[in-house]
Structure 1
Amino acid sequence: MIERFYLKEFLTFKEADLEFHPGLVVFTGPSGSGKSILMRSILASVGLDNVDAHICESSVAWDIDEELYGIQNESTNIFRHVKKEKTRYFINNQSTSKSSMESISSLYLRHLSLKDYSDFEPSSLLSLIDARIGIKSPDHLRILDEHKNNYSAYKSLTDQLKAIEEQEKNLSDLKEFAQFEIGKIDAIKPRIGEDEELNLIKKQLSKKEKIESAISAAQAIFSYESSVSSALGLLEADSAFFDDAMNELRSVFESASERLDELEEVSIESVLDRIEQISELKRRYGGVEEALLYRDQKMRELESYETIEHSKDDLVKKIESLKGALDKSAKILSLNRQAILNEAVNSLNSYLGMLYLREATLEIEDSPLSATGCDKAILGLEGTKLDKLSSGEFNRLRLALLAMGVESMKGNGGVLMLDEIDANLSGEESMSVAKVLRHLSSRYQIFVISHQPQLTSMGQQHFLIYKEDESRVRELNDNERIEEIARIISGESVTAEALGFARDLFERSRGIA
């Protein structure tokens, strides 16, 4: 519920500070006093309207999804709309967006001013019927929850099956392509680092003759080795360094000669061909290592294609099992709904009779399997299509559905806001609307603007909006309420007869639960 509302500087209002109670809250006052302005301001305070007020603030007993919105709940959550240079929105002094505020508020507050057909949607009507069954048979709601869970799993598995069947259409091409890609890489059998080795061989082959010629010429140095050793001996110098150097040189020449001998067996053409093959892999895949990784990926894909048939068989079995369970639960749900349908229709028509509307029809038709079963609820009003109803008829039909829903509600329904729902109604029609709203107020906090004495008398809290130099609002006590009802009846010049009728209306309303 909305516990408190504060408004500062909006059009004819300088300031308003109101505390609200649960139940039916009525706003009355002369035309042009600011009733609709106040209603819009309350909506704006929780993000459901746009106004240019300096401050609109509501203290609400609503739970906020802390994880979703990143806002911590307080014992009372305070929603605030502030307008200075620009409009800003806050919840518990934490800045937020209008869309977030609106998303939270719409879970708890409904403004019944427009032709919103959501209450007449087949899913909403089924929910009404299911809630009614649940009061007498909680097992129905358990079966419904189980059905919804099974349907979610069934939908997920059928989507997977569709994906596999789509894959199967191209499976032959996919397998052929994977095998082709693997075959191309396997035909080359590249090794990591092989390109560096090949380039070294190519370099050595290109210099082979020059190296052989240079080594052959350099071999002459060894013919002077003994002469150098003798000279070093005569000089009494240590010849170890010279011996080591010559041995190292001899080892280098021998290794080079062995490598040159090996190159005799290597074909320069085959080396160039191999370099070209490796270069092609590098151009295509970015490198030898990347080519091998791509091959492994294609191998895994090939294995997955080969297991698709097995996966498909498992999915088909699971889907068939779930479908059997869903068909069974859908049939039970349908039987339960059909069994209570006449009772639900009679309940709805009792409210419609109170509201001076024609009887309605509520039928359950077969529909494709869904999360709610295989049923579709269809509402009709005798002789008139829903989209042809007047605004007054439309709102009264919606009230009847809400009243019917109250019979099976366990918790509070939130807040309803209605703007002159009894406008242009006769006294009897207005009283019927008032009685239904009083019934709804057992589960909803209801804010309503009224110009009729019947609805005004039924209010459990009554605020008068009036205008002096500015618009003002105050809560009325019982005597003041009787005087205001009398003003509504007779105008500004309140007669004794109007006062007596107002007192009688007010006192009779006290005896209505």
Structure 2
Amino acid sequence: MTNGMIISIHLNDYLYFKNVDVYFDKGLNVFTGETGAGKSLLLDVLGILLGLTSGRVDNYNADVVVELPQDYPDYEINSGENIFSITKKNGRTIFKVNGRVFPKNIVSEILNNIISMHRQNSHLKFLESNFLISVLDEVAQNYNLLSKFSKLYSQYKSLLLLLKSENLEELKRRKSELEIYIEEIEKVNPNPVEEQELEEKYKVALNLQQNIQNYNELLNMCENVSSEIWAMKKVSPDKFMAQIDAAFDIIETMKLDIQRELSNIEEYDVSEIEEKIWDYNSLKRKYGPTIEDVLRNYEQFKKQFNEITSKIELLENSNEKVQKFKRRLEDLGAMLTKRRKETASIILNTFIKHARDLNLNADLDIVFENSQMTSRGFDKVEIVGRMIKNEPLKPIRNIASGGELSRLMLALELSIASGGVLIFDEIDAGISGETGNKLAEKLKEVSKKYQVIVVTHLPQIAVRADKHFVVTREEEVGIVKELSEKEKIKELKRMVGSEDVLSFIDKVE
């Protein structure tokens, strides 16, 4: 996670919150109010944008202004203030950044880089091995190593699936069959334009003999006419000579044109045309019914040929290849495990300090177990601990109460936080008294490094707020108000439930 902050939230329409604006501070931002006022509803929009929830209402419209610490050139999103919008109407949810529509996963990906959200019972996700592994990978920055492993794992699984589902000899038979089809089509090299030209030539060729006979008769007639004109020239007066010469030129030109047509016709090789047409018809019978169909099937044959060739290459010496894949995966998996264990050790060292600050006398450990290979490696990870010294370490879910488990996971979350925004929705559930005070001190300490947003019922936390908002409902309309110093005192009195709040404030301050 990198640095960044939430600047504001605008709820145009979310249940009973209409046209509500909330402007946050860099430090500790606290929401308080009566139970049922809708404090957690204010965080719903952030949960939707982060991909953690789908929301609690069918139609809504909201904007969140976020200061991003880095550019996202692939999405043309720059660092600085950006507006993340979300609208749900008629069952369709639209996500936008600066007015441009984006897929939900891209919006969630960007915001998850700077925002970590802890809701009631969300700490339970730390009890899931896959989630804990993803946390360790994020802190260890295993992105490149994990990408290599995942890609290689995919290839390995594809090879195993291929071995299970394909027969090498059958693939070779099919490849030979496709090779014959491809060669047969390529030998003819069909073309729709050429087919049309062949049909036209064949029509001409069918009338070839009659045309030759007709042209020869015309040539004979022209010769006779030329002889007669020549005879006329000998006996005609000079005044008719120009007309006779013109007539003679016309006939001679006609003879040349007829001879040219005869030459073109004689170039037609009827047997060659018939053979080519036969080849076309043969292809259409096998792979048609049209030449366009033949060409489409040809492309499909080539695609299948290439796919089968790749499969054959994989299957040949497959046992050796499987072993090679396994060795490479085991090497990469060992590197992942090593980096995860080193990261777990660093996190646990930090956890001890946070746990003590939260009044937790607990020992915690992250244990690794070698498991069946998955796309994330060979690790199964679990958090174990003990609340009583010298007791054996047990799965944390079996040794801690709800409040203790919540604080344990808070301490763990604080141990992995590396910047940005930390959001806690009623993290104080099951906590009171001195432990609540410790929690308040911890949140105030953390807010010096990160922006912290908290929904709470504890006055110990509220009194330390850099910005204190109270949430109320009046006639089914939600109101969010930023409190002044005097208004904070009034709200703290309400939270404590007696006038003793003033002495309490003096004491903690």
Q: TM-score, normalised by structure 2?
A: 0.66
Moved more, 40-49 or 327-336: 40-49
Specify the alignment match of 1:202 in structure 2: 206
Specify the alignment match of 1:414 in structure 2: 421
1:446 aligns with 2:444: no
Paired amino acid for 1:234: V
Q: 1:358 to 1:327 in 2, by over 3 A?
A: same
Q: 1:241 to 1:262 in 2, by over 3 A?
A: same
Q: Whole-Å Cα distance in 2 between the matches of residues 486 and 361 of structure 1?
A: 41
Paired amino acid for 1:404: S
1:151 aligns with 2:149: yes
Is contact 1:112–1:395 with CA below 8 Å preserved after alignment?
A: no
Q: 1:435 to 1:290 in 2, by over 3 A?
A: same
- CA RMSD after TM alignment: 5.9
- Alignment counterpart, residue 401 of structure 1, candidates 401, 412, 416: 412
1:173 aligns with 2:174: yes
Q: CA deviation at 1:241?
A: 4.5
1:445-484 matches, within 5 Å, as 445-464=451-470, 471=479, 473-477=481-485, 484=491
For residues 298-353 of structure 1, the C-alpha deviation after alignment (integer angstroms, 9 at most, x for no partner) is 79997998898779889999997776555334334434555675675576577567
For residues 392-451 of structure 1, the C-alpha deviation after alignment (integer angstroms, 9 at most, x for no partner) is 555434313202214xx3xx1323131x33244342443343344345435432222333
Specify the alignment match of 2:333 in structure 1: 330
Q: Whole-Å Cα distance in 1 between the matches of residues 190 and 420 of structure 2?
A: 72
Specify the alignment match of 1:510 in structure 2: none
Is contact 1:463–1:476 with CA below 8 Å preserved after alignment?
A: no
Q: CA deviation at 1:223?
A: 6.5
Is contact 2:383–2:396 with CA below 8 Å preserved after alignment?
A: no
Q: Whole-Å Cα distance in 2 between the matches of residues 84 and 285 of structure 1?
A: 50
Is contact 1:54–1:82 with CA below 8 Å preserved after alignment?
A: yes
Is contact 1:175–1:305 with CA below 8 Å preserved after alignment?
A: no
Q: Whole-Å Cα distance in 1 between the matches of residues 48 and 434 of structure 2?
A: 34
* Partner secondary structure for residue 207 of structure 2: helix
Is contact 2:215–2:262 with CA below 8 Å preserved after alignment?
A: no
Q: 1:346 to 1:79 in 2, by over 3 A?
A: closer
Is contact 2:179–2:305 with CA below 8 Å preserved after alignment?
A: yes
Specify the alignment match of 2:391 in structure 1: none
Q: Whole-Å Cα distance in 2 between the matches of residues 232 and 350 of structure 1?
A: 129
Specify the alignment match of 2:382 in structure 1: 378
* Partner secondary structure for residue 21 of structure 1: coil
Q: Whole-Å Cα distance in 1 between the matches of residues 24 and 312 of structure 2?
A: 65
1:20 aligns with 2:28: no
State the identity %.
22
Specify the alignment match of 1:138 in structure 2: none
Paired amino acid for 1:402: E
Residue segments in structure 2 that go unaligned for 5+ positions in a row: 387-393
Paired amino acid for 1:147: L
Is contact 1:46–1:58 with CA below 8 Å preserved after alignment?
A: no
Is contact 1:181–1:295 with CA below 8 Å preserved after alignment?
A: yes
Paired amino acid for 2:452: I
Q: 1:79 to 1:275 in 2, by over 3 A?
A: closer
Q: Whole-Å Cα distance in 1 between the matches of residues 87 and 294 of structure 2?
A: 62
Specify the alignment match of 1:230 in structure 2: 231
Q: Whole-Å Cα distance in 2 between the matches of residues 502 and 317 of structure 1?
A: 73
Q: Whole-Å Cα distance in 1 between the matches of residues 115 and 260 of structure 2?
A: 92
Count of residues in Structure 1 that have an aligned counterpart in Structure 2:
479
Q: 1:316 to 1:61 in 2, by over 3 A?
A: farther
Q: TM-score, normalised by structure 1?
A: 0.66
Is contact 1:351–1:403 with CA below 8 Å preserved after alignment?
A: yes
